[in-house]
Chains A and B, each alone.
Chain A
Amino acid sequence: MAAPADGLLRLERLAKRYPTGDEALRGVDLVVPAGQVMALIGPSGAGKSTLIRCVNRLVEPTGGRVFLDGGEVTGLGAGALRRARRRMGMIFQEFALVERLTVMENVLSGRLGYVGFWPSWLRRFPASAVEAAFRILERVGLTEYVDKRADELSGGQRQRVGIARALVQEPQLLLVDEPTASLDPKTSRQIMRLICELCEERRLAAIINIHDVVLAQLFAQRVVGLRQGLTVYDGPPEGLTPEVLTTIYGEEDWSRTIRGQEEGGDEGGTLDEERMAGLR
């Protein structure tokens, strides 16, 4: 990919070795320009989750460097790291909402990096933050659920709250970890579409970890394949040929996974529907 060398996010030789000796990342170089939606695919254990967690240092990298908007994230002290995290919204696989808090509290928790402890403890967020939270809840279609507890919502609704929590941070970058893994096929598409629309509206870059190759092809502008901690593919979604998928995942019959060019349908047509029917 001919991305400018000073993209919004830049990873240099990023490496992570866990204390158990597992080498999750073995020197990943990656540049993500502003506004780009990038799908990160690869088999379980390839290091996808580790990679996005090394970006905001929920997992401490053991080698290499991370730059966000020109500033180095690796090596920041605790306070500066918290400020850097405000610019990176994160969306999770099992939603990771605080179950016993209300929808509004969950969304406002996205603003915790901006307010001191006492106002947050008293739930007295600045009016601008509350206004922003209401606007985002409107955008994701959850206006009536403001005071519902998070555990009363359906899967799709919960993920919308998760998206709202990430967006209320006013981030430049979204780190998205398997957003559709706990959702049914239809909701998965709606959620992916919502994430991509929001990225476009707000000119956000996103790294989306995703197992589902078809969804990755449908929604991402760029696909990066990770295998055993190394990038083995970096290119447009159309470039995912059976050979490429074999490099990423290993030998398998990929012909039914790849979007049928001859179908010409904008969402993959019959092959896709068959695949959806076969899910779960």
Chain B
Amino acid sequence: MSTGAAAAVRRWSPPPLIRSPWLRRGLQLGAIAYLALALGSVEVNWARLIDGLDRGWQFLRAFAPPDFVSRRGEIAEGLAESLVMTVTSTVIGIAISVPIGLGAARNVAPLPVYLVCRGIVAASRTLQEVIVAILFVAMVGFGPLAGMLTLSFATIGFLAKLLAEDIEDTDPAQLEAVRATGASWAQIVNYAVQPQVMPRLIGLSLYRFDINFRESAVIGIVGAGGIGATLNTAFDRYEYDTAAAILVSIIAIVMVAEYLSGVIRRRVQ
């Protein structure tokens, strides 16, 4: 044993992710080559870029200082409309998402229900808000109703999917224990599933509230009402200072909502 000092030092390194050295090197080289070619294929017109820098600067300067005053009526109205859209669509979205989320969780829903609910979630997630908004504007006309419908629809895809995943991650032992008492399905959901997913559901709902408010500004541009419509009008009139005021207001509201939701989320943990 005392001769151990003379023995060769044993080396160890973690096994590589891909065993074959040829494949590993090949993939690394391939990735680098593709990246280089891809970057090379994007044409950069340097003269145009330098020109553009100046134009961009002019554009930004037109924003300053933000003008909250001359269109304050429209801004207030737009913000109020956006908030109404956000609140209603979040509430409606949650109300629809909870049953769909339950249906899309494999551990509490039978297979046919699961497939239908996953289908609804997938449909809601594949369609981007702006496209949905255009569709609803065509269906119900310009204004906040189209916005509310769009955001409710988008909320389902987001909330139902994440809720379903959280339900699938619940501790099965707790479900089993409540089932063993002779509880019905609804009672199992109420006693074993709900306590486990409630904090996350609240957190996700508040987060979705933030998202819906920001989205309400985007979909307004395609005619779905709210502050987005006001913003669009400001750009159309070249009133960049008013547009800046609107953007600042949106940022401020999002930050306040973010802060409040953080406080609430900490409380429910």
Chain A interface residues (CB < 8 Å from chain B):
56, 58, 82-86, 88-90, 92, 94, 96-101, 105, 109-114, 117, 120-121, 162, 165, 169, 175
Contact = CB atoms under 8 A, between A and B. Distances in A.
Interface in B70-129: none
Contact of A96 (B176, B182, B183, B199): B176
Contacts of A98: 174, 177-178, 191-192, 195-196
Contacts of A111: 181
Contact of B180 (A56, A105, A120): A56
B217 to A, nearest CB: 37
B176 A58 contact: yes
B186 interface: yes
Interface string B160-194: 00000000000101101111111110110011100
B202 interface: no
What 9 pairs between A and B have smallest CB-CB spacing?
A113-B182, A112-B183, A96-B177, A85-B182, A100-B195, A96-B173, A90-B180, A86-B182, A82-B182
B177 to A, nearest CB: 4
Contacts of A97: 174, 177
Given A98-B196, A100-B198, A90 B177 contact: yes
Contacts of B176: 58, 92, 96
A202 B177 CA distance: 22
Interface in B15-52: none
Given A92-B173, A105-B191, A99 B183 contact: no
A82 B180 contact: no
Contact of A112 (B173, B174, B178, B196): B178
Nearest to A56: B180
A153 B182 CA distance: 25
Nearest to A168: B181
Contacts of B190: 117, 120-121
Contacts of A90: 177, 180-181
A94 B187 contact: no
Contact of A99 (B181, B184, B187, B196): B196
Nearest to B174: A98
A114 B181 CA distance: 9
Contacts, number: 84
A58 B187 CA distance: 16
A113 B177 CA distance: 12
A109 B182 contact: no
Contacts of A86: 181-182
Contacts of B192: 98
7 contacts: A90-B181, A92-B176, A96-B177, A98-B174, A109-B181, A113-B181, A121-B186
Contacts of A92: 173, 176-177
Nearest to B196: A100
Contacts of B180: 56, 58, 85, 88, 90, 175
A82 B174 contact: no
A101 B174 CA distance: 11
Given A96-B173, A99-B196, A120 B191 contact: yes
B195 A109 contact: no
Interface centre among B173, B183, B191, B199 (most CB of A within 10 A): B183
A208 B174 CA distance: 19
B182 A169 contact: yes
Contacts of A114: 182
B238 to A, nearest CB: 55
A97 B181 CA distance: 12
Contacts of A96: 171, 173-174, 176-177
Nearest to B172: A96
A106 B226 CA distance: 47
Given A92-B173, A117-B187, A120-B190, A101 B195 contact: yes
Given A58-B176, A98-B177, A112-B183, 12 more contacts: A58-B179, A90-B180, A96-B173, A96-B177, A98-B195, A98-B196, A99-B171, A99-B174, A100-B195, A100-B199, A109-B178, A169-B181
A226 to B, nearest CB: 21
A277 B186 CA distance: 46
Contacts of A113: 181-183
B182 to A, nearest CB: 2
B170 to A, nearest CB: 10
Interface in B135-179: 171, 173-174, 176-179
Nearest to B180: A90
A124 B178 CA distance: 17
A98 B182 CA distance: 16
A194 B191 CA distance: 26
Contacts of B173: 92, 94, 96
